[in-house]
Amino acid sequence: MTPRPPTSYWIVFAIVLALLAAAPLVLPPFWQRFATEILIWGLLAMSSDILIGYTGMVSFGHSAFFGLGMYGAAAALVTVKPPSLWLAVLYGLAGAGLVAVFVAYFATRLRDIYFAISTLVFSQIFYVIIFTWTEVTGGENGLTFSQPPLTLFGLHGARFTPVTFHWFVLAVVTLSYLAVRRVTQSPFGMVLQSIRENEPRTRAIGYHVERYKMVAVMLSGLFAGLAGTLYAIQNKFAAPDFVFFVVSGEVVIFNVMGGMGTLVGPFAGAAFFLLLREGLSRFLTEYYLIPLGIIFTLMVMFVPQGLLGFARRALNR
């Protein structure tokens, strides 16, 4: 990352945060919901950026973390009465953490395309289990439940409105972003980046590369699970479609479009993708992926640093 004056960074940060907080107050209901979704998908994409952008490991299996986050939340909300928000988050993180342990174990042994394939295969294993274990997971239909109320510091708050839920998501996402930013700028994050640049050399210097990769995968998986939990609470359901690898593919697209290794980029990528999808699907219905796929491929070829990297270079010029 290029060093930049911290004050200007925080000014931009505050402005963006204020805009995001004000968004639901001025937007019509459809776009309110849309803004919340961008935040959730952005969080998922950011979690994957820890691996793709910082450690140089492409995960094609983030749908598993996300999906297990959803089903974890669903487990808490279906079984425990009255439904508890924090228990849902806890279960969701536990679900995603379970997958992350698996993937982390393999992450330490496999590299490059082998890692990518193994994450893809893992997500498919979980997909098949969820899809076929109808008694527990609801199979193809998934699970539906009611939304838990917001409780904070023991206070029994009211039910979520779209606006308060947006603020809740914004708060979670902001804290997650700051936490991940802190991690990537810490010495730990520097080691991850040096693994990305040159794994053998990092190992030769004496770092226990395997452990660093493991922690990176665990971290990435937990934040992805958090995103899944939020999505489940927003939509009041958990469905196998979200464990399917198509979702993982979208996460990779968000990263590429927005700019890998920037944390903010994946949010921009998610917003860009979802807006494009919204706009294109109005008159192309589900075929929106044809132009979108072409745009994506062209970006991979000609703008590999993504929108954010492109904008940054354009500004510096």
Q: How many CA atoms lie within 13 A of 280 on its CB side?
A: 16
* Shortest distance in whole angstroms from residue 292 CB to another protein: 7
Query: Rounded to whole angstroms, how far apart are CA atoms 102 and 80?
Result: 27
Query: With binding defined as CB under 8 A, does residue 290 bind another protein?
Result: yes
Task: Give the shortest CB-270-to-another protein separation in angstroms.
Answer: 16
Based on the shown chain and the rule CB under 8 A, indicate whether residue 55 belongs to the binding site for another protein. Answer: no
Give φ, ψ of 30 to 5 degrees.
Answer: -60, -45
Interface with another protein (CB under 8 A), residue from 25, 26, 158, 301: 301
Closest contact distance (angstroms) between CB of 316 and another protein is: 21
- Residue of the chain from 21, 90, 94, 125 that contacts another protein (CB under 8 A): 125
Please state at what angle helix 162-185 crosses helix 6-26, rounded to 10 degrees. 160
Residue 205 as a binder of another protein (CB under 8 A): the answer is no
User: Does 114 sit near another protein (CB under 8 A)?
Assistant: yes
For residue 239, the minimal CB distance to another protein (Å) is 17
237 has which bridge partners? 144
- Residue 211 CA to residue 209 CA, distance in Å, equals 6
Of the candidates 95, 53, 107, which has an alpha carbon nearest to the alpha carbon of residue 227? 95
- Contact status: 292 vs another protein (CB under 8 A): yes
Asked if 4 interacts with another protein (CB under 8 A), we say no
Q: Which of residues 11-30 bind another protein (CB under 8 A)?
A: none
Q: Which two tokens stand for residue 117?
A: 């394939």
Q: Is 144 exposed, middle or buried (0-12, 13-18, 19+ CB in 10 A)?
A: middle
Instruction: Give the residue among 68, 63, 214 at the shortest CA–CA distance from 124.
Output: 63
Q: Which of 87, 90, 163, 289 binds another protein (CB under 8 A)?
A: 289
Q: How far is the CB of 25 from another protein (least distance, A)?
A: 36
Token representation of residue 13: 């940060």
Total residues contacting another protein by CB under 8 A comes to 36
Site string for another protein, 229-268 (x = CB under 8 A): ----------------x---x--xx--x------------
Q: 3-class DSSP state for residue 148?
A: coil
Q: How far apart are CA 310 and CA 298, in angstroms?
A: 14
Q: What residues make contact with another protein under the rule CB under 8 A?
A: 58, 106, 109-110, 112-114, 116-118, 120-122, 124-125, 128-129, 131-132, 245, 249, 252-253, 256, 286-287, 289-290, 292-294, 296-297, 300-301, 304
